[in-house]
């Protein structure tokens, strides 16, 4: 059971860190982005509470007490994990990054890669040469 509790704590901690980071975003963004950040933050708060409920139900199991909601809560955690990955993250990206933003980021990455190649070509691999 220790591994169950550890895993639950690690997931809850990760979700808390993402929520805290989102709450720390400051600035003015496009309205759809701000709305999706709010929706995602609400989702994460619910997700954290679901992890806490799961842990409480596992504790009931360990203590030998009735745990009538355990399977239901475990299923909800699994469903929410899928929603986090398949729905919430893509919705946030879609709301906060336009195609132009993505193209600009890709170009910046390509430019950085090209600069690195140029720098590599300028060196001959020997040390101590000026």
- How is residue 88 annotated by DSSP? I
Please tell me the predicted confidence (pLDDT) of residue 84.
Answer: 93
**Concatenated DSSP letters of 92-118:** HHHHH--HHHHHHHHHHHHHHHHHHHH
Please indicate, yes or no, whether the overall pTM of this predicted structure exceeds 0.75: no
Please tell me the predicted confidence (pLDDT) of residue 53.
Answer: 94
Residue ranges in the chain modelled with pLDDT below 50: 130
Q: Which of 30, 25, 23 is nearest to 44 (CA)?
A: 23
Contact partners, residue 44, CB within 8 Å, separation at least 6:
15, 16, 18, 19, 22
Distance CA 126, CA 72 (A): 63
Please tell me the predicted confidence (pLDDT) of residue 125.
Answer: 59
Contact 69, 19 (CB under 8 A): no
């Amino acid at each position: 059971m220790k591994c169950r509790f550890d895993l639950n704590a690690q997931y809850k901690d990760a979700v808390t860190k993402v929520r805290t980071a989102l709450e720390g975003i400051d600035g003015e963004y496009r309205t759809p982005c701000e709305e999706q950040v709010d929706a995602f933050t609400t989702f994460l708060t619910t997700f954290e509470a679901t992890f806490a409920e799961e842990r409480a139900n596992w504790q009931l199991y360990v203590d030998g007490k009735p745990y009538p909601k355990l399977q239901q809560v475990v299923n909800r955690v699994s469903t929410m994990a899928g929603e986090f990955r398949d729905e919430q993250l893509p919705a946030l990206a879609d709301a906060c990054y336009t195609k132009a933003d993505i193209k600009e980021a890709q170009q910046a990455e390509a430019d950085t890669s090209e600069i690195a190649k140029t720098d590599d070509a300028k060196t001959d691999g020997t040390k101590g040469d000026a």
